[in-house]
Amino acid sequence: MDVISVIRTKRDKGELSPEQIDWVIDAYTRGAVADEQMSALAMAILLNGMNRAEIARWTAAMIASGERMNFDSLSRPTADKHSTGGVGDKITLPLAPLVAACGAAVPQLSGRGLGHTGGTLDKLESIPGWRALLSNEEMLHVLDTTGAVICAAGDGLAPADKKLYALRDVTGTVEAIPLIASSIMSKKIAEGTGSLVLDVKVGTGAFMKNIEDARELASTMVGLGTDSGVKTVALLTDMSTPLGLTAGNALEVRESVEVLAGGGPADVVELTIALAAEMLAAAGIKDADPAKALADGSAMDHWRRMIAAQGGDPDAALPVAREQHVVTAPSSGVLTRLDAYDIGIAAWRLGAGRARKEDPVQAGAGVELHAKPGDTVTAGQPLVTLHTDTPEKFDYALQSLGSAWDIAAEGTSFTPNPIVLDRIA
């Protein structure tokens, strides 16, 4: 077997054989295939695609590159959720303890942000003392004692994906649907969860800009999970407007705690409950009521135990940025558009995100929204507030907001997009 033949096969729109896939993934993980060679293969896959059999074998090969976890010792069924990433997407934070409060165990392996999409681990690390890095034994202990754990994937879990993801990020091949699907599903299947709900974002603030691409990605991942014996369901959800009223690390933690306390923005609450219902159904739990668990405080109790079990102080004050800058509405009328991508870029430029995986993030940086599409605004009223420790970043962030919103005449009718656009199972 040689890598040049593998590259040529896909370059010429051929189907990779199972033997070619197994060999190239193993050889790349061992360092026998160079980065520039795997880059050429990734670009050929982006341009020419893969069929379902190829994607399934590619995913299996990445799983086989490392260890597989097992949660059979737990007394409750496991359910996990994965989001493809968006702006203000803090849903994992209230969702994991909510589902745990309803009787499932939630082994949530999460990642850090890169670019305009925020990372769950970055958000939680704004809580003083909280630890993302747990051993497998620590992860299982937190899961067993609190019902939910949110942590980083260990180095032994699908190491081929970790190496390939970093390469895709710097070679313009992140958007390849076969590689997105296999990247996500190799980690989730290796993680050992019994059921999985996928939140596939659609819109300007998501990787999938249109619903056709999102549906293709969702269907591919649902097929991969189902073929591997994992009960898998996908929701396509709107990401044309930021979720909630915040985009930033500590800002989103604060908003998530509001949701767990029975308040918070309506769109965050709606999506949290919708995903919780799907996770519970997939885990075979039929008599739980997620809305009730939010209202009666049981989800908050699980949150506090989960944070404390990972070294965090749930009562500690969250970081606040040293500087704020208020942007006001330029005219009066009805806010009809608030672009998720532009808001995400502003938050990233303020320090809430990173351009390289090695970059630090500012815990208090981000964007706070004072209105959402459909709201009536008055000229001069606060529309967004920018937060950062480095005020020299304000001008750079403001550049991304130049066309971030539309304000129509007062009395203009407005119908927002539904949060859940489709369901694929």
Annotation says 372 is catalytic: no
Annotation says 168 is catalytic: yes
Choose, from 81, 168, 215, 304, the residue flagged as catalytic. 168
Choose, from 187, 201, 349, 393, the residue flagged as catalytic. 187
Choose, from 10, 82, 163, 302, the residue flagged as catalytic. 82
Three-state DSSP class for residue 200? strand
Q: Domain for residue 17, yes or no?
A: yes
Contact 57, 23 (CB under 8 A): no
338 and 295 in a common domain: no
346 and 247 in a common domain: no
Annotation says 296 is catalytic: no
Q: Domain for residue 421, yes or no?
A: no
pLDDT digits (tens, 9 = 90+) for 88-134: 999 999 999 999 999 999 999 988 876 777 789 999 999 999 999 99
235 and 94 in a common domain: yes
User: What is the domain range of residue 237?
Assistant: 80-154+170-309
Q: Which residues of 105-135 are buried (b: 16+ CB within 10 A; e: fewer)?
A: bbbbbbbbbbebbbbbbbbbbbbeebebebe
Please state the φ and ψ torsions of residue 293, each to the nearest 5 degrees: -65, -30
Q: Domain for residue 281, yes or no?
A: yes
Choose, from 83, 182, 183, 195, the residue flagged as catalytic. 183
41 and 93 in a common domain: no
Assign residue 27 the CATH number of its domain: 1.20.970.10
Assign residue 255 the CATH number of its domain: 3.40.1030.10
Q: What is the pLDDT at residue 113?
A: 78
Q: How many Å is the Cα radius of gyration of the chain?
A: 21
108 and 213 in a common domain: yes
Residue 321 corresponds to which tokens in the numbers above? 């940025």
116 and 241 in a common domain: yes
Q: Which amino acid belongs to residue 264?
A: G
120 and 142 in a common domain: yes
End-of-domain residue from the set 269, 287, 309: 309
Q: Domain for residue 32, yes or no?
A: yes
Contact 344, 119 (CB under 8 A): no
Annotation says 337 is catalytic: no
pLDDT digits (tens, 9 = 90+) for 83-101: 998 999 999 999 999 999 9
Contact 421, 211 (CB under 8 A): yes
- How far apart are the C-alpha atoms of 158 and 61, rounded to whole Å? 9
Annotation says 422 is catalytic: no
DSSP per residue over 301-366, as a string? HHHHHHHHHTT--TTSPPP--SEEEEEE-SS-EEEEEE-HHHHHHHHIIIIIS-SSTT----TT-E
119 and 216 in a common domain: yes
Q: Please give the order of strands across the beta sheet that includes 420-424.
A: 80-83, 195-202, 231-238, 420-424
327 and 218 in a common domain: no
Three-state DSSP class for residue 385? strand
- How far apart are the C-alpha atoms of 140 and 23, rounded to whole Å? 33
329 and 236 in a common domain: no
283 and 259 in a common domain: yes
Choose, from 122, 161, 267, 342, the residue flagged as catalytic. 161
Q: What is the pLDDT at residue 310?
A: 98
Q: What is the pLDDT at residue 240?
A: 97
133 and 95 in a common domain: yes
CA-closest candidate to residue 134, choices 164, 117, 156: 156
Q: What is the pLDDT at residue 337?
A: 97
Residue 4 corresponds to which tokens in the numbers above? 């040049």
- How far apart are the C-alpha atoms of 231 and 23, rounded to whole Å? 29
- Blockwise average pLDDT, block size 10, the chain, 425 residues: 96 98 97 96 97 96 94 94 94 98 95 79 96 94 96 89 87 90 94 96 94 96 94 98 97 98 97 98 95 96 98 98 98 97 96 82 97 97 98 97 95 94 97
Q: What is the pLDDT at residue 359?
A: 82
- How far apart are the C-alpha atoms of 211 and 217, rounded to whole Å? 10
User: Domain count of the chain?
Assistant: 3
